[in-house]
Structure 1
Amino acid sequence: MKYNRLISRVYAYLAMALVAASFAGCTPEEMEGGLAPAPKADMVKFKASPTATNPNIITFTNETPGAFKAIWDFGNGTTAEGNQVTGSFPVEGSYTVKLTVFTSGGYATNTQSVSIAKTNVAMLNREDYNFLTGGADKATGKTWVVDRHKAGHMGVGPLAAATPEWWSAPPNDKASEGLYDDEMTFNLNGFAYTYQNNGNTFVNGSNAAGLGGKAQSADYTLPHTPPANMVWSVVEEGGKKFLVLSNKGFIAYYTGVSRYEILKLAENELYLKGADGANAANAWWIRLVPKGFTHPVEVRPYRMENMFDNFDEAGNVTWKKENLTLNESYDNPAPLGINKSAKVAMYVKQEGQTYEFANMFTDFAFDFDLKTRNVFKLKVFVPSYNDFTTAKGEDWAIKNLLKQVSVKLQNGTSAQPWVNQVEIKQQVNEVDKWVELTFNFAPYADRKDLNRVVIQIGGEGNFIPGIFFLDDFRLEP
């Protein structure tokens, strides 16, 4: 690649991604004999020695007397801990390296300037850098956009979760917002990051104040001018890689953070997870593709396979939730009659307009062949303590909570999967008792575009809460 043409313009800094180090305190052994005098900055000494095989890799040795802990900030977006560590500096320039040491008397910090005489282009020729920026041959950088045409291009869930458990965006779900025309460009030259939003940005309502907007419960689009002179860095911590942006930069959808865990980085995919600035327990997922990239047309198989879940043991379906609380391993509230199993699913529809379309669903990698198999069965328990009398809801709907189970088949790859769905509703005439319901989709056997099963209990369009139990979902042979 044409590194010489590019590297002559590479700035002498990496992105600032400073990580604050914590200090837990001295052990009793370290405190023995009382506290020593507090250290001073001029007592903090360290040596910087280029390695014999690569002058851009520096070995740092702490020479501070009495220090039992040493924390380093290399001034290039990376940190380390230990009395002897190494730092990598691929780009020529001057770096301010900071060492913080802890002694029995306290802690102190000192800095030292480290000069790198020449850029080591081989160290910049990294797979992750090349995927992100297009590499040294791409003088204008590589531009990414939100993967709007794919399901799951945005999502939200617990920060500790591996997937967005609470919500996952269907294709083009945010077409009316200032999101899909945004362009994010990463350049190896100067590690520059440019965000072009065409004048407005889609924001998480809870974090909108961070961009000068008004905090509110719903997401919305607001006018925003992205900051200039932003830079990026990739840092590794705890076995994970993070993409860090300077100057309060962010990726397309504003959630109040500038740091994203890299879940996947490939030539045609950048999949990130960022925290929620207003709620540290939450996270947001976002998937990007290169500008102009088109997904290959997928030919989906057409067949039918077993589907079952008895909630006592692992079934072969994975349930997702929409505005629903679902416990898939709940003690059977009435182990009598036709259902004596130990565990069932508890389906909880909460009160309010937000939960008027509560449901659970599961997607498949094939389109259903309803000519061969088309009958679904499940057991349901409807408690009489639910409020089936109060009426509150949308004018187009039945405003009462219903003693009803609906099974819908949809095209989960569609931007609006409910538009062409097929649905069968079954009324439950007996409460406080397990009953088995049958849903026969034989009348829809000619459909070849259905690949999602939806279960909805209590009706839709009403704002009334309800608790239900279900078990033994299956597709009949």
Structure 2
Amino acid sequence: MKRLHIFLLGLTAVFFNACSPYEDRVTPADPAGIQLDFSVTQTPGYDNQVTLESKTKGVIPFWDYGFGVTKESRAVVILPFAGDFYIKYSAYGSGGPKTDSVKVKISENDPKFFSSKLYDLLSNSSAGKTWVWAVDVPGGYCFGNGPGDADKPGWWTVGAAGLKDQGVIDDEMKFDLNGNAHFTITHKGVTTNGFFALDTLTQKLKINGADISWGNNVTYNIIKLNENEMTLVQQGDGWRNIWMFKRKGFIF
């Protein structure tokens, strides 16, 4: 069996094993002569794991499973979120592509994929978690910069007054794993939706389609993440920009 490396949410995972077929579909030939023949298999007892197999002769296969794509004739992929998803199969022949899709139902968020406690600390899983500026952090400064190993602002420091001047003091950010890795930021009453990618091995966070409050649109290093506190940094050569947030409702 070929092994397909799945890159999703900043993690790399390699998956094995395939089991009984979920759906084996053959379509009538179209005018160009392509007759689709493919199967989509969910592993019994672990329905997040899906085996995709193209049996169509003389074509180049292409799969879009919502969280990634592959051109492999046979691939094992992971759908990490609970819900209903469509797996799209296309076969490219001399007469052009022919496409079909199969709907699969995933019973729960993948406990293996989300085994790192960082996911729950950041997002509270499907329920979601809202973060705000840590304006009452001891020392009074929750944004700024400092030396390359600093865990709080030390050179340029910004507290509540500076955040208010910038119009970001009331910003709220929410992370959740409800059907996808969702990120939203509400700024001055306007909510922007995006997605987040969390690398639990290197503890890095990337926001796609939006950004953190007063952010720099970079990949952030997580230097503190617990139930109530999150400190993110932009790591430079001998310096750091530092953002300090807290769980909404938490008081230092």
Using the alignment, how far apart are the partners of 1:87 and 1:47 within structure 2? 13
1:428-439 matches, cutoff 5 A: none
Secondary structure in 2 aligned to 1:289?
strand
User: Displacement, 1:71?
Assistant: 4.4
Whether 1:48 and 2:40 are equivalent positions in the alignment is yes
User: Which residue in 2 is equivalent to 1:449?
Assistant: none
Deviation sequence 1:213-240 (CA, Å, 0-9, x none): xxxxxxxxxxxx224xx3635377xx99
Q: Is the 8 A contact 1:141 1:188 kept in 2?
A: no
Larger Rg over CA atoms: 1
Secondary structure in 1 aligned to 2:156?
coil
Using the alignment, how far apart are the partners of 2:158 and 2:33 within structure 1? 56
Distance 1:52 1:42, change over 3 A: same
User: Displacement, 1:50?
Assistant: 1.3
User: Which residue in 2 is equivalent to 1:253?
Assistant: 214
User: Which residue in 2 is equivalent to 1:290?
Assistant: 246
Which of residues 59, 64, 74 is equivalent to 2:51?
Answer: 59
Secondary structure in 2 aligned to 1:250?
coil
Q: Is the 8 A contact 2:183 2:207 kept in 1?
A: no
Which residue identity lines up with residue 230 of structure 2 in the other structure? E
Aligned length: 196
Using the alignment, how far apart are the partners of 1:193 and 1:61 within structure 2? 33
Q: Is the 8 A contact 1:45 1:110 kept in 2?
A: no
Secondary structure in 1 aligned to 2:111?
helix
Provide the identity percentage.
Answer: 17
Which residue identity lines up with residue 82 of structure 1 in the other structure? E
Whether 1:149 and 2:142 are equivalent positions in the alignment is yes
Q: Is the 8 A contact 2:37 2:55 kept in 1?
A: yes
User: Which residue in 2 is equivalent to 1:312?
Assistant: none
Q: Which residues of structure 2 form unaligned runs of 5+?
A: 1-8, 10-30, 136-140, 147-153, 235-240
Q: Is the 8 A contact 1:78 1:235 kept in 2?
A: no
User: Which residue in 1 is equivalent to 2:14?
Assistant: none
User: Which residue in 1 is equivalent to 2:175?
Assistant: 186
Which of residues 178, 186, 194 is equivalent to 1:196?
Answer: 186
User: Which residue in 1 is equivalent to 2:166?
Assistant: 177
Using the alignment, how far apart are the partners of 1:56 and 1:180 within structure 2? 40
Using the alignment, how far apart are the partners of 1:85 and 1:119 within structure 2? 21
User: Displacement, 1:140?
Assistant: 5.3
Distance 1:64 1:241, change over 3 A: farther
Q: From the two aligned structures, give the one with the greater strand fraction.
A: 2
User: Which residue in 2 is equivalent to 1:74?
Assistant: 65
Using the alignment, how far apart are the partners of 1:108 and 1:182 within structure 2? 46
User: Which residue in 2 is equivalent to 1:271?
Assistant: 232
Distance 1:226 1:51, change over 3 A: same
Which of residues 176, 190, 195 is equivalent to 1:232?
Answer: 195
Distance 1:134 1:144, change over 3 A: farther
Q: Which residues of structure 1 form unaligned runs of 5+?
A: 1-16, 18-38, 154-167, 200-224, 274-284, 295-477
Which residue identity lines up with residue 141 of structure 1 in the other structure? K
User: Displacement, 1:186?
Assistant: 1.4
Distance 1:74 1:150, change over 3 A: same
Using the alignment, how far apart are the partners of 2:36 and 2:145 within structure 1? 50
TM-score (norm 1): 0.33
Deviation sequence 1:187-207 (CA, Å, 0-9, x none): 3345554423234xxxxxxxx
User: Which residue in 2 is equivalent to 1:470?
Assistant: none
Q: RCO (CA 8 Å, sep 6+): is it higher in 1 or 2? A: 2
